[in-house]
């Protein structure tokens, strides 16, 4: 079921950008692309759960749960755990609740529509493990969220997060910007020009822009410091940098995809910002690489796990 029909069935507001992205635009609504992403995401979830050291009977909160990746993983690992799924997207909470009901897990689940910076529906010191996957990056006020996580965690309880670090992508884009030579017909300069124009819809490409965006103005060490100044103890970082070929996907799926919610698809960028001739040039440069899986990408994921003071 795609995001649009899901909204229609559940009677949800149409404008739920995270719902649409997670269930559809993330993989360009393409089964091949979704299947290629699945094992990569499952590996990330498994490391996140390993660091959480989940014990029987624990009360877990999956904050920014999306379609329940981490929380459902926690329910599977220990048959007696319970999970509070929290997300700012009403559509995703409805979707996740529906999944839980269909799997017969709903009696062990609670669902809350809320922002990570205002978790008033969860009482103080009521949670044994907070799990967060790929959500902090999208928060302006990350410190406020960590304050809320500390408040809901019992003394001595564990937090385990994994988040993408986008700063390197932005620095790479700033590098591309410096290689552009507008008007040049040199193939390398044209490649830099067109790729830069496409990617600058997703990341800032100047030092000032990188510094002022909450998506890019921090790295993994800053995350560690954030946990420390928020009062967590036993703070650990595991940094994973995977420089790998992107999955081989159909060109249509590539065009229909976007790297995160609320930003245009690659196809939309080409339609809006490229002439027909430039679109042809861009396709000539990239299509074979995209379809053969020889386009390199670098994914940076920071795993941080820590304890609430006892």
Does position 65 interact with ligand SAM (CB under 6 A)? The reply is yes
C-beta closer to ligand SAM: residue 240 or 289: 240
Which positions ≥6 away from 145 have C-beta within 8 Å?
A: 63, 116, 117, 136, 139
Which positions ≥6 away from 229 have C-beta within 8 Å?
A: 143
Rounded CA separation 187/284 (Å): 11
Does position 92 interact with ligand SAM (CB under 6 A)? The reply is yes
C-beta closer to ligand SAM: residue 28 or 174: 28
- Among the listed ranges 66-74, 247-255, 264-272, 286-294, the one in contact with ligand SAM (CB under 6 A) is 66-74
Taking the complex as a whole, the smallest distance from the CB of residue 157 to ligand SAM amounts, in Å, to 19
Taking the complex as a whole, the smallest distance from the CB of residue 19 to ligand SAM amounts, in Å, to 8
Number of residues that bind ligand SAM (CB under 6 A): 18
3-state secondary structure 129-161: EEEEECCHHHCCCHHHHHHHHHHHEEEEEEEEE
Binding mask 22-41 for ligand SAM (x = CB under 6 A): x-------------------
Q: Please, what sign has the CA dihedral across residues 45, 47, 52, 55?
A: positive
Does position 18 interact with ligand SAM (CB under 6 A)? The reply is yes
Q: Report residue 131: phi and psi, to 5°.
A: -115, 135
Taking the complex as a whole, the smallest distance from the CB of residue 228 to ligand SAM amounts, in Å, to 22
Taking the complex as a whole, the smallest distance from the CB of residue 299 to ligand SAM amounts, in Å, to 13
Is 240 buried (19+), middle (13-18) or exposed (0-12) by CB count in 10 A?
middle
Report the residue from 49, 58, 66, 249 that binds ligand SAM according to the rule CB under 6 A.
Answer: 66
Rounded CA separation 22/69 (Å): 11
Closest listed residue to residue 138, CA positions, set 214, 189, 198, 202: 214
C-beta closer to ligand SAM: residue 113 or 285: 113
User: Rule CB under 6 A: which of 115-174 touch ligand SAM?
Assistant: 115-116, 133-135, 138-139
Rounded CA separation 298/169 (Å): 8
Strand partners, 237: 304
C-beta closer to ligand SAM: residue 116 or 146: 116
- Among the listed ranges 62-70, 190-198, 249-257, 299-307, the one in contact with ligand SAM (CB under 6 A) is 62-70
List the end-to-end C-alpha distance of the chain, in Å, as a whole number.
45
Closest listed residue to residue 180, CA positions, set 170, 172, 167, 190: 190
Taking the complex as a whole, the smallest distance from the CB of residue 66 to ligand SAM amounts, in Å, to 2
C-beta closer to ligand SAM: residue 96 or 308: 96
CB atoms within 10 A of CB 53: 11
Q: Which position's Cβ is nearest ligand SAM?
A: 66
Residues at the interface with ligand SAM (CB under 6 A): 18, 22, 64-66, 69-70, 87-89, 92, 115-116, 133-135, 138-139
């Amino acid at each position: 079921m795609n995001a649009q029909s899901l909204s229609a069935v559940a009677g949800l507001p149409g404008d739920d950008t995270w719902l649409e992205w997670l269930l559809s635009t993330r993989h360009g609504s393409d089964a091949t692309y979704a299947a290629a992403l699945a094992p990569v995401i499952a590996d990330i979830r498994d490391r996140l759960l390993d660091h959480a050291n989940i014990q029987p009977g624990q009360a877990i909160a999956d904050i920014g749960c999306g379609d329940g990746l981490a929380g459902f993983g926690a329910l599977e690992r220990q048959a007696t755990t319970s999970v509070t799924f929290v997300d700012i997207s009403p559509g995703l909470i409805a979707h996740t609740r529906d999944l839980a009901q269909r799997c017969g897990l709903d009696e062990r689940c609670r669902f809350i529509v809320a922002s990570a910076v205002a978790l008033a529906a969860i009482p103080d010191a009521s949670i044994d493990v907070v799990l967060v996957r790929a959500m902090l990056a999208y928060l302006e006020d990350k410190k406020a969220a960590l304050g809320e996580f500390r408040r809901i965690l019992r003394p001595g309880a564990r937090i385990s997060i994994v988040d993408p670090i986008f700063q390197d992508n932005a620095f790479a884009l700033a590098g591309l910007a410096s290689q552009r030579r507008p008007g040049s017909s040199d193939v390398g300069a044209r490649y830099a020009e067109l790729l830069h124009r496409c990617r600058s819809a997703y990341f800032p490409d100047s030092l000032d822009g990188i510094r002022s965006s909450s998506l890019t103005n921090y790295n993994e060490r800053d995350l560690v410091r954030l946990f420390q100044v928020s009062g967590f103890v036993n703070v650990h970082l595991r940094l994973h940098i995977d420089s790998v070929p992107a999955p081989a996907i159909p060109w249509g799926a590539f065009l229909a995809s976007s790297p995160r919610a609320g930003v245009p698809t690659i196809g939309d960028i080409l339609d809006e910002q490229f002439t027909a001739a430039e679109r042809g040039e861009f396709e000539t440069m990239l299509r074979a690489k995209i379809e053969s899986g020889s386009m390199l990408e670098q994914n940076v994921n920071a795993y941080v796990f820590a304890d609430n003071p006892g």
